[in-house]
């Protein structure tokens, strides 16, 4: 206890006596890591060879690059991390946390590295990165249909392992295989079977968390409020999630997929408009999302809509269902394909026919690709002419994207306060907006971000208001950011209630208990409330 108090005191000293503070060097940090602390739990010596900076992550921090790295999405210049640590054991994570606390540097926990604003590997304050890449074992137990997953694993690794273990099990989570379970599950997790089984975070049954003192707790010992907060509140505010225990779900051996693609125009606007009425009302086995993007054919830019569908059943059942609920799409059985659930994951990633092993590829990079994303929730169908205006705006851009994902089903059956993710009953669908560009220049960024903000403004009459809803996993720093360690909770409500609505206050109270000194913080972490 004395040691905790002492290091807290040191932390304050380091944070507040600014003039005396200069960040530790890499050598100083390494020296702290290798010190055999008096606490008897620190007997495991650390092999420093494991600790080195590398450039697996998307921004290049290699030795030869300049000391600071910029990343367009963030609109700030990030410092270079003092160290990138890739722990091979939980004890090493503990050392990294305690040394960071002692030396007054921040921690960025990195799982899959897909954060939309780079918060898992960029910071304006001196920091280290704890990269969980070496802690990614997955243990499936078919007897109770659960899996323990270390949080450095990716969705692709999880899906692959499930598919190799069972033909009738799956996990309800996102589509892209290189997304990490560390960030994804703690931020919600939309996927193709969410209408039947809920979000990824709705399927968590236990979790192991390391807190600011390096103490590990599980569901039983952390208490239900903290366990609640981890399931959708963004774990980065509370500590480092070491592993999740999740409920696997049953899927039929055969599922059906189809895509139906159309060029935007009056007819298409009608189809998308119509989809709004049925997307969230359909049988829970049926997931139809809409992707609106540009295509370039014969030098001619046009806007197209793609209905991308998974049905948890065979073609025979799907066709009558579609004829009854969405005859406008004119689906025929020859447009559909039956496959296993894991093949449907490949299908949704445009990888049909490739070996399943491609799911294990963690190296999805955004080299030469920058983007800005935003999100909305829709409760009343948007008028048809709005899709006409969206088309007009899309035609101005090279690579804009909108993904409309249906809610309803299981998502709506869970009460708003049952988990931090609040966008439940009453929401028809989520919109994700994205615009991409290739040149990392301020001017270029400003141009595209301005376009995105203008589209977002244009959409404001048609989406949820007061607060306007947003999805944490599509992180958007435009909504507001913290101002350092002393950010007031009141100020943070501006963006916090967009992600969490009425659940934000409880998240603040949980934060106040588990991390009162606000050690685990970033531009959009939950400020402590007492």
Ligand X SMILES: Cc1cc2nc3c(=O)[nH]c(=O)nc-3n(C[C@H](O)[C@H](O)[C@H](O)COP(=O)(O)OP(=O)(O)OC[C@H]3O[C@@H](n4cnc5c(N)ncnc54)[C@H](O)[C@@H]3O)c2cc1C
Residue 214: CB minimum distance to ligand NAG, A: 5
Distance of CA 486 to the CA centre of its chain: 26
Binding track over 465-494 against ligand NAG, x by CB under 6 A: -------------------xxx--------
| Contact assessment for residue 144 and residue 81, using Cβ atoms and an 8 Å cutoff | no
Site for ligand NAG, residues 444 to 463, rule: CB under 6 A: 445-446, 449
**CB neighbourhood size of 255 (10 A):** 25
Q: Which is nearer to ligand NAG, 77 or 323 (CB)?
A: 77
Cα gap 292→295, rounded to integer Å = 10
Q: Which of 121, 160, 456, 474 is catalytic?
A: 474
Judge whether 41 and 97 are in contact, CB under 8 Å. no
Residue 401 interacts, among ligand NAG, ligand X, none and using kind-specific CB cut-offs from 5 to 8 Å, with: none
- 159 catalytic, yes or no? no
Q: Does 294 bind ligand X (CB under 6 A)?
A: no
Total of chain residues touching ligand NAG, rule CB under 6 A = 28
- Among residues 215, 319, 321, 414, the one that binds ligand NAG under rule CB under 6 A: 215
Distances (CA, A) of 112 to 230, 249, 339, 438, 471: 17, 23, 28, 22, 18
Tell me whether residue 101 or residue 136 sits nearer to ligand NAG (CB atom). 101
> Among ligand X, ligand NAG, none, what does residue 55 contact (CB within 5–8 Å per kind)?
none
CA distance 81 to 78: 9
Could you please report the per-residue DSSP string of 94-162? HHHHHHHHHHT-EEEEESS---TT-TTT--SS-EEEEEGGG---EEEETTTTEEEEETT-BHHHHHHHH
CA 200 to the chain's CA centroid:
11
For ligand X, what does the binding mask look like between residues 97 and 116, x meaning CB under 6 A? -----------xxxxxxxxx
Strand 146-150 with 240-247, pairing: antiparallel
Q: With binding defined as CB under 6 A, does residue 19 bind ligand NAG? A: no
From the list ligand X, ligand NAG, none, which binds 231 (C-beta under 5 to 8 Å, kind-based)?
none
Binding span for ligand X by CB under 6 A among 41-49, 170-178, 307-315, 385-393:
170-178
User: Should residue 65 be labelled a site residue for ligand NAG when binding is judged by CB under 6 A?
Assistant: no
Is residue 471 within 8 A of residue 439, CB to CB? The reply is no
* Binds 378: which of ligand X, ligand NAG, none (CB < 5-8 Å by kind): none
Q: Decide whether 16 or 458 has the Cβ nearer to ligand NAG.
A: 16
Indicate whether 189 belongs to the interface with ligand X (CB under 6 A): yes
User: Is 398 an interacting residue with respect to ligand NAG (CB under 6 A)?
Assistant: no
Give the residue carrying structure tokens 């051996």: 253
Q: Which is nearer to ligand X, 506 or 521 (CB)?
A: 521
113/198 with CB nearer ligand X: 113
How far apart are alpha carbons 461 and 439 in whole angstroms? Answer: 33
Q: Is 6 exposed, middle or buried (0-12, 13-18, 19+ CB in 10 A)?
A: exposed
**Rule CB under 6 A: which residues touch ligand X?**
108-116, 119-120, 132, 151, 174-176, 179-180, 182-184, 186-191, 235-236, 240-241, 473, 522
């Amino acid at each position: 206890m004395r040691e905790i108090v002492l290091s807290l005191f040191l932390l304050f000293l380091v944070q507040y006596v600014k003039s005396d503070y200069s960040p530790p060097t890499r050598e100083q940090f390494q020296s702290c890591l290798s010190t055999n602390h008096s606490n008897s739990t620190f007997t495991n010596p650390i092999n420093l060879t494991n600790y080195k900076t590398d450039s697996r992550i998307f921004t290049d921090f290699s030795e030869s690059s300049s000391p600071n790295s910029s990343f367009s999405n963030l609109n700030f210049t990030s410092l270079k991390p003092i160290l990138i640590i890739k722990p091979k054991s939980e004890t090493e994570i503990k050392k990294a946390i305690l040394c960071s606390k002692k030396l007054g540097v921040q921690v960025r926990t990195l799982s899959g590295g897909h954060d939309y604003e780079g918060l898992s590997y960029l910071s304006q304050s001196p920091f280290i990165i704890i990269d969980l890449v070496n802690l990614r074992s997955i243990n499936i137990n078919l007897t109770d249909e659960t899996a323990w997953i270390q949080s450095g694993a990716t969705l692709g690794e999880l899906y692959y392992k499930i598919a190799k273990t069972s033909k009738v099990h799956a996990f309800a989570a996102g589509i892209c295989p290189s997304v990490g379970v560390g960030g994804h599950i703690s931020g919600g997790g939309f996927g193709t079977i969410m209408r039947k089984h809920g979000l990824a975070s709705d399927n968590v049954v236990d979790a192991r968390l390391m807190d600011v003192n390096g103490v590990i707790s599980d569901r039983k010992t952390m208490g239900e409020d903290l366990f609640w907060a981890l399931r959708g509140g963004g774990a980065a505010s509370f500590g480092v999630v070491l592993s999740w225990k999740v409920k696997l779900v049953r899927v039929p051996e055969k599922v059906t997929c189809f895509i139906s693609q159309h060029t935007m125009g009056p007819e298409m606007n009608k189809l998308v408009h119509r989809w709004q009425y049925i997307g969230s009302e359909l049988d829970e086995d049926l997931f139809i999302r809409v992707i609106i993007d540009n295509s370039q054919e014969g030098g001619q830019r046009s806007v197209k809509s793609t209905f991308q569908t998974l049905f948890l059943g065979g073609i025979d059942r799907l066709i009558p269902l579609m004829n009854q609920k969405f005859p406008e799409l004119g689906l025929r059985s020859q447009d559909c394909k039956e496959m296993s659930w894991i093949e449907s994951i490949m299908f949704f990633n445009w990888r049909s026919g490739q070996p399943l092993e491609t799911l294990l590829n963690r190296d999805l990079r955004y080299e030469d690709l920058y983007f800005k994303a935003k999100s909305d929730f829709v409760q009343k169908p948007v008028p048809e002419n709005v899709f006409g205006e969206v088309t007009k705006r899309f035609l101005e851009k090279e690579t804009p994207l909108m993904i409309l994902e249906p809610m309803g089903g299981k998502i709506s059956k869970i009460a708003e306060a049952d988990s931090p993710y609040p966008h439940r009953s009453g929401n028809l669908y989520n919109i994700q907006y994205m615009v991409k560009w290739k040149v990392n220049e301020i001017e270029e960024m400003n141009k595209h971000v301005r376009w995105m903000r203008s589209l977002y403004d244009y959409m404001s009459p048609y989406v949820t208001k007061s607060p306007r809803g947003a999805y944490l996993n599509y992180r958007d720093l435009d909504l507001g950011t913290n101002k350092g360690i002393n950010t007031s909770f009141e100020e943070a409500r501006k963006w916090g209630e967009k992600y969490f609505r009425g659940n934000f206050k409880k998240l603040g109270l949980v934060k106040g208990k588990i991390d009162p000194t606000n050690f685990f913080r970033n531009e959009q972490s939950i400020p402590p409330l007492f």
